[in-house]
Structures are given as structure tokens and as C-alpha cells.
Amino acid sequence: MSERGLDHDGTIAREGALDRVPTAFTPVVAAARTRITQAFDTRLHSAYIYGSLPRGTAVPGVSDLDLQLALHDEPTAADRAGAQAIAAALDRAFPQIDGVGILVSSTRALLSELERHDDGFFIACLCTPLLGPDLAERLPRYRPTPLLARETNGDLDRALPHWRARAAEAATDADRRTLSRSVARRIVRTGFTLIMPRWGGWTSDLAESAELFGRYYPERLQQMRLAAGVGAAPSADPAVLATLLGDLGPWLAAEYTAVHGEKTPRP
């Protein structure tokens, strides 16, 4: 893999592997595998882990556990409740993780033409197989193109109103920290994919993403560095959320649309 996250043919390399998971998190991954198998049994096609654990950059007591489940059929309310129960149980059992997120989708959706450059890219390049057949074998190789940029993060403007509503309703510091981490990470990733085709590579590292973004938008670099910091260490400061949701976020959404256009609408 090149320093720009590309394979020898110029396509984006898969960024994680199970053998990169830090030793402190090995029991967490083993428990996740067991609980998913027990809860979903034959409904499960495959399961994946993504984020800092398979990239090998997770920090005990700070990093969260991120999982993606692919089901043979469309997820039901019971499936989503089961995933939430697994997430809560893992979070309680392992102090080395700070939160657990589990996405649940059908194989049909993940392999659909509509999701080819969004969820499909996510599975093929950002997810590491944990259980079952790897859906990446049924997906194309991806390059850092404007099409990929548009379809992965071209809908920031649709997320902002929802986040503002959550910020207004946040009653505790814990609520604000949880929201600030989600918002900051999404903003940094959107900032990176805005400039991704020009830079010609891929990274999921928040700090590196902010610095690369700053090469093209130096006037916004300090704000993006703030977002990268909050993505790694969440903040309960309302002023931080105000900066992300009231200034950097709206500007970034408008610039993204101007450069790459809007993401294809979903039904």
C-alpha cells in the first residue's frame, strides 16, 4: 500500500485487518463475534469491524467499537433491538472501549447499484471481515474520484438540521460529548473527501485528514483541526458544537455541493 492509501494499481486499499487489532481489544472482538453469532444465527450473512480497532490505532478507554452486520433479509425491528442489546452488553463488559455502534443492513442494500459508491465502498475499503463471506468480493475496486466523493459524503446539508435539533435537546454533558464526536468525525471526513480527488488518495486518520484539507482551504484549517481533535476527544462545550454546526458545517456543505454536487437521493 502506498503512502496515499492506494494499491499498486491506483485503487483504494482496504485499510484494516484483524491482525492489526491491538492486544487490549482482542477479547472485545472475540466477544463480539460470539454474541453476534448467537443472536443472529442463520439470519446473518456476514459481519465486519471498522474504525480504529482494525486500523491498529485504538486507545484503551478512549476508542469505540464499530461493527456492521449484513443480513440475508431486510432488517426488522427485532434485529435492530438485538444489535442494540449486543452493543450495550459489550460496552458494559469491556472498560477498554468507550461505546459500541452496530449498523444493520441487508446484503441487497449493501450490494445495490444505488449504494455502489457509498455503502458498497464502505464495505469494500473501510470494513474488515469478522464473520461470514466477504461482500467485497462482489464489489468493484474504487479510485479517489469525484463520483466517490459525491456519493460518500455529498449529503452533509441533510444531516445538519437533525444535529442542530439534537444539540438543542442535549440536557447533559454526556449528551453533548456523544453528539460532538459524531458531528466532528463526519465533518472531518466530509472535509477530506471534498479534497480527496485533488489529493489523489485515501486516509481515515482524522488528524491527517484535517491537515490535507488545510492544503486546499488554509483559511478553514484551524476549524478543521478543532473538529479532528473533538472527533478523537469529544467535548461537552456548547461553543464547540456551535462552531461545528453554525459555521464550519454549513460552509462545508455549501462548498461540497458547489464542487461535487449533491448525493443521489435515497427513497
Q: What is the mean pLDDT of the chain?
A: 96
Split at pLDDT 50, 70, 90, the class of 1 is low
pLDDT value for 89: 98
Cα(25)–Cα(55) distance, rounded to whole angstroms?
12
- pLDDT, tens digit (0-9, with 9 covering 90-100), for 117-142: 999 999 999 999 999 999 999 999 99
Are 230 and 240 in contact by the 8 Å Cβ rule? The answer is: yes
Residue 71's DSSP bridge partners are 44, 106
Among 6, 72, 4, 58, which Cα is nearest to 28's?
Answer: 58
Among 58, 127, 47, which Cα is nearest to 96's?
Answer: 58
Express as a percent the part of the chain with pLDDT over 90.
98
Express as a percent the part of the chain with pLDDT over 70.
100
pLDDT at 149 over 70: yes
Mean pLDDT calculated for residue range 10-27: 97
Cα(188)–Cα(166) distance, rounded to whole angstroms?
19
- Helices and strands, number each (H, E), in the chain: 12, 4
pLDDT value for 229: 97
Cα(109)–Cα(237) distance, rounded to whole angstroms?
37
Cα(124)–Cα(196) distance, rounded to whole angstroms?
18
Give the start-to-end residue ranges of the domains of the chain: 18-138, 146-260
pLDDT value for 2: 76
Mean pLDDT calculated for residue range 102-113: 98
Cα(257)–Cα(267) distance, rounded to whole angstroms?
20
Q: Which three cell numbers stand for residue 213?
A: 484539507
pLDDT at 159 over 70: yes
CATH number of 18-138: 3.30.460.10
Q: Which residues of 238-260 are buried (b: 16+ CB within 10 A; e: fewer)?
A: eebbebbbeebbeebbebbbeeb
